[in-house]
Chain A
């Protein structure tokens, strides 16, 4: 096995002349924990912006006529909503935030492999985000959707589209820097003696995700550069009036943007794999198959992009190939879900907010996965492609999947971040409102799509008014659900119950140091955790301090 070259990289750097206390979160810190929380808070602020844009969309759709905003503004809003939520909220948070915070702990390192590159990766995000939002106020934002299909993206006002391209390029650069850093950290910075197959599952998820990022994001970047040439220099790569081919753009775009879905959900899978064993007090079921299934998803994820193009006039053999390849992703994904269920089975499950959000994720993602297998079937897809069925499916995957896991992770790791507990009652209220609101909003949209409502429209057939109103009420509930959460995280940071170092009695490495952790993660040597999930194995691995029960080590039967 690889021996870590510089397990204590951090100590070799020049002494830190950086602010301490809360000021360091506003500085160009190179501490992976600071950068992780910077990603998290920055991402959440963009989530609020993206959520406000979603609120504007649902307000417009509360009535069948386009009466809330101008039609071109509506298209700007939906483009910004998609771009903000994907590139500024989910991808940075599930990768950047939790990856930065957790991966060095999990490999037993004191920082990431390239701490300064890490800071650069984060600090590309705020300017890119501000650039994107500012385009709305300059000449109007891009209005061709987050997919920016030409020729529409070539013919709509150029300034907004160019700013959109620039900001996505910056964010793509940030992703690539992060991906390289994660691969290097996981493969080269492991504490001596720590084998790959002993790593916590989130490391594997991040390894797979980073491979996808490094392989596919440059393709998106190249594509967008070509698109900007078409817009600014009037080249004809994708412009049919100059001999370009618009379907080529779709192939290149989806070569990144389909894996992007796995860039959003694979880390979420990893995070759930960390959360469930701890709160179910059971080992993660089927570690080895979980690892293989992640790698299978990475490989399959790269060869399914054309399922977004079944109605674009692709040749029949291509449709057949991509149908089968896409449907087969359900197998490794299914393995993960069965493994989580088996992890819960026979456990001692604490039904706290982290577990509720994780289980909410399972419910939502199972539905999103089932509609995904259906969408992989060409004949089925041809009817519902570009309709609200796809909107519903996609949100079940990325909101019901990734965002639920982000919340579960915040409830789980908040004590580590701050040294204080979050309020459980507010957490459960947050979960209930989010779960009900989410399903009320996106559940009925499956029916809308099947019955004839296309997506990305400001106006629609009046027969769909009632279902859209229900959907808008669900969106309102989701908006309200962030209030208890916001109050909880802000209030608990100052007034929350002190958590102690390891409130969940967890065995993964980040819990074996103080909360919040010291600058270089451990005072003294990093612990070697060869068995991150060995719950229920022997009494001395359980913190007995707070327990006095007689059935302490009885089996879970």
Chain B
């Protein structure tokens, strides 16, 4: 096998790597980030995109070069060179992808850990979310499932019920039931998701979070919204004819605006009590990361 001289290979390799890094840094294919998870996710995306771009351009470049350089010209006859293998070369291109894949795997494990995904499945300890008899009910964790166990005390509990073809949100504190999800920016939220009929999925693209909502199997999903705004909640699991129409909105409010929304919607007896404690929390709670 005729390999171009080392210096040319090195230069091409460097241009490729630098080009790939430029592409990874400068081409953004993702929507805006609106949760604590999202920037961590985008970091991983950038790394994957950079590596992918380098590999893709490198391999396709090699292919196109081979097709042009080694094409059969008119009148040219005979075979190419009879080379059946090259052990060092094959070891090289087995080892390099293995190292890259291992790096990517460990890196994404780290990302996953930072997102809170590696906390074991929780049992439901959170007061007010289930009846006392159900305390040992197994909760199936989505990403960030461990936030509650990790000692975040001021997480806002919300119960999500998914059914054909709507999401229903219930706030146990304040006994609010709503068709839109209202959450305050900067405060951790813990969703307890249940499905009434078939499998649905709760997906907020701007949060980079998705969790299947599975009948007969309550699941938990935690996140911390960061950027006020209105974002779509999309059902991502085929759930019947109106699956495409099963959309809702998550409204991320400034803490003050959310308090106002909460007080005006909460059941009267709880409203005053909760509103004061929520305000206190919102003021003192550090941004959870």
Contact = CB atoms under 8 A, between A and B. Distances in A.
Given A378-B108, A379-B143, A551 B217 contact: no
A348 B72 contact: yes
Contacts of B236: 311, 385-387, 454-455
B8 to A, nearest CB: 15
A246 B214 contact: yes
A366 B60 contact: yes
Given A289-B94, A344-B70, A383-B209, A447 B216 contact: no
B261 interface: no
A254 B164 CA distance: 25
A286 B41 contact: no
Contact of A348 (B76, B93, B115, B242): B76
B80 A536 contact: yes
B173 to A, nearest CB: 25
Nearest to B73: A348
Given A344-B70, A382-B208, A374 B52 contact: yes
A270 B249 CA distance: 49
B282 to A, nearest CB: 28
B79 A553 contact: yes
Contacts of A446: 29
Contact of B117 (A319, A376, A535): A319
Interface in B203-256: 203, 205-206, 208-212, 214-217, 219, 232, 234-245, 247
A386 B80 contact: no
Given A66-B244, A348-B78, A378-B108, A246 B199 contact: yes
A351 interface: yes
A285 B219 CA distance: 50
Contact-size category for B: 35 or more
Contacts of B1: 342, 345-346
Contacts of B89: 342
B97 A330 contact: yes
B108 A379 contact: yes
A288 B240 CA distance: 49
A151 B205 CA distance: 25
A44 B197 CA distance: 39
Contact of B240 (A152, A374, A548): A152
Interface stretch (A25-33, A123-131, A331-339): A331-339
B250 to A, nearest CB: 12
B81 A282 contact: yes
Contacts of A451: 29-31, 205
B56 to A, nearest CB: 6
Interface string A43-72: 000000000000000000000001000111
B83 to A, nearest CB: 7
Given A280-B70, A344-B63, A366 B55 contact: yes
Contacts of B66: 341, 344-345, 347, 349
Contacts of B209: 382-383
Interface string A452-465: 10111111110000
Contacts, number: 320
Contact of B60 (A74, A363, A556): A363
B63 A349 contact: no
Interface residues of A, number: 107
B148 interface: no
Interface in B85-99: 85-86, 89-90, 93-94, 97-98
B162 interface: no
Contact of B52 (A72, A371, A450): A371
A456 B243 contact: yes
Given A341-B66, A380-B44, A452-B205, A327 B104 contact: yes
A551 B94 CA distance: 36
A378 B83 CA distance: 41
B45 interface: yes
A376 B76 CA distance: 46
B2 interface: yes
B118 to A, nearest CB: 5
Interface string A425-457: 000000000000000000000110011101111
B248 to A, nearest CB: 13
Given A315-B121, A359-B67, A459-B244, A346 B101 contact: no
B59 interface: yes
Interface stretch (A141-149, A201-209, A214-222, A415-423): A141-149
Nearest to A335: B94
A53 B72 CA distance: 40
Contact of B56 (A312, A347, A370, A456): A370
B147 to A, nearest CB: 14
A145 B86 CA distance: 46
Nearest to A75: B241
B198 interface: yes
B39 interface: no
Contacts of A522: none
Interface in B107-161: 108-109, 111-112, 115, 117-121, 140-143
A542 interface: yes
A132 B76 CA distance: 52
B92 to A, nearest CB: 9
8 contacts: A246-B214, A287-B84, A327-B105, A330-B101, A335-B97, A344-B63, A345-B66, A383-B205
Given A363-B63, A377-B48, 13 more contacts: A71-B241, A151-B197, A155-B240, A246-B199, A285-B84, A346-B70, A346-B80, A362-B59, A382-B143, A461-B247, A537-B79, A542-B79, A552-B77
Q: 10 nearest interchain CB pairs?
A: A240-B216, A457-B244, A313-B140, A536-B79, A452-B205, A549-B77, A347-B80, A556-B80, A536-B82, A71-B241
